[in-house]
Amino acid sequence: MTTLPVTAPVLDGDPFSRAVLADPIPFDTLVRETGPVVWLSRYGVWAVGRHALVEQVFKDHETYISSAGTGLTNIKHEATWRRPSVILDQDPPEHTRARAVMTKALSPQVMRRLRVQFAATADDLVDELLARGTFDAAVDLAERFPLTVLPDAVGLAPEGREHLLPYSDVNFQSMGPPNELWQEAVDRAGDAADYVAWQMRREALSDDGIGAGLYAAADAGEITQEEAALLVRTFLSAGIDTTVFGIGFALDSLMHHPDQWALLREKPVLAKHAFEETLRHRPPSPIIGRTTAVATELAGVELQADQKVLLFLAAANRDPDRWEDPDRFDITRRASGHMALGAGIHACVGQLVARLEAECVLSAVARKVASLEPAGEPEIKYSNWLRGYTSLPVSVTPA
């Protein structure tokens, strides 16, 4: 890590400490309000938490590159636990080619088919949980639904799916420092990496899922066979946890804002707006990294080449210069423009699927559930790179 004579404000706190992870908003606010660009001395990286600057960095993909990794580690200089992503950890033209294939695989026709499947599964699951009365919304709904519909959509084999979350956990923990959270995730993962290597293969996928479409693009020469496998891995490593935690946050926020729950009950069509406001208000993926390709200047601060810049997305999403009353959860708010899913050429490629999953779940809950109440204390997920709940006890009554 680089030590510099810094001309910007310096923060020596640790955004990856358990204390901050348990209550992150004060540190988010500190990053945003201390200065437009701050130096995190503990890790030797820059941090940006103001909406306009986060958006600026996202959209200037030539100055702030992704191919050095989007976590804390500069993968051009340090080895990582897995091969770089062909979308997340790439710049044009490689990124452009891979993203075009992924976009085609998620065509409007595919999304229409998935909407029917997702909605039916959500209705059935909510009916089942209503019969219980009390359940863990983090595990039984927010986790179970994506772990059912996304693997089915991709065409994953039925066996081995229990490895998906442990593998993804290692992926996201590795984006931060090599602390005890990372080591605990590695210890829990067991054979998950072997499972993913097996599941990435064409032979392990059904012939009618998104994965088969990616391999068809390889057959057509649009990408290589190896790139097709790595695009399948994208769904396995990055397509579940964020949606799981986002749905959990949405349910929790609705429970603790009865006026917003009443609005959603009255108009279930607001389900997609409720999730969008959740992404703004409580993004499950609160930080992402870029690396300077050249020496540059940002908000009057000189940045050297090959330096990490952490974008504090959760801080940007509560920037009072961008949002009126930003700490308020309001599902009627026009939340478009939030940074939870990125911006520019690297905006989350799977966002259509994630939004569809959440919309189907929240719509089913709004239509079928009369009361949604806490039934115990939630348990947070301690993660270097994500925010969410591992447990969210709720009590419900049918509409």
pLDDT above 70: percentage of residues in the chain: 98
Q: Using 50, 70 and 90 to split pLDDT, how confident is the model at 80?
A: confident
Mean pLDDT on 232-247: 89
CATH code of the domain in which 236 resides: 1.10.630.10
Q: Using 50, 70 and 90 to split pLDDT, how confident is the model at 2?
A: very low
The residue written with tokens 């908000």 in the block is: 299
Q: Is residue 2 part of a domain?
A: no
Is residue 238 pLDDT above 80, yes or no? no
Q: What are phi and psi of 114, to 5 degrees?
A: -65, -35
Q: Using 50, 70 and 90 to split pLDDT, how confident is the model at 79?
A: confident
Q: Could you tell me if 247 and 141 are in contact, meaning their C-beta atoms sit under 8 angstroms apart?
A: yes
Question: For 285-295, what is each residue's pLDDT tens digit?
Answer: 999 999 999 99
Residue 197 tokens, joined: 């290597």
Question: For 22-31, what is each residue's pLDDT tens digit?
Answer: 999 999 999 9
Q: What is the pLDDT of residue 6?
A: 57
Is residue 247 pLDDT above 70, yes or no? yes
Residue 243 tokens, joined: 């949606």
Q: What is the pLDDT of residue 82?
A: 81
How far apart are alpha carbons 8 and 307 in whole angstroms?
15
Residues 6+ positions from 73 with CB-CB distance below 8 Å: 80, 174, 175
Domain that holds residue 292: 10-398
Q: What are phi and psi of 379, to 5 degrees?
A: -115, 125
Is residue 3 pLDDT above 70, yes or no? no
Q: What is the pLDDT of residue 287?
A: 98
Q: Is residue 393 part of a domain?
A: yes
Is residue 81 pLDDT above 90, yes or no? no
How far apart are alpha carbons 103 and 281 in whole angstroms?
27
Helix (H) or strand (E) holding 371: strand 369-374
Q: Is residue 35 part of a domain?
A: yes
Q: Omega of the bond prior to 93 within 30 degrees of 0, cis?
A: yes
Question: For 100-135, what is each residue's pLDDT tens digit?
Answer: 999 999 999 999 999 999 999 999 999 999 999 999
Q: Is residue 5 part of a domain?
A: no
Structural domain count, the chain: 1
Mean per-residue pLDDT of the chain: 94
How far apart are alpha carbons 81 and 271 in whole angstroms?
38
Question: For 334-376, what is each residue's pLDDT tens digit?
Answer: 999 999 999 999 998 889 999 999 999 999 999 999 999 999 9
Residues 6+ positions from 223 with CB-CB distance below 8 Å: 86, 97, 98, 101, 214, 217, 231
Nearest to 255 by CA among 377, 383, 143: 377
Q: Is residue 1 part of a domain?
A: no
Q: Is residue 334 part of a domain?
A: yes
How far apart are alpha carbons 219 and 217 in whole angstroms?
5
Is residue 5 pLDDT above 50, yes or no? no
Residues 6+ positions from 134 with CB-CB distance below 8 Å: 375, 393, 394, 395, 396
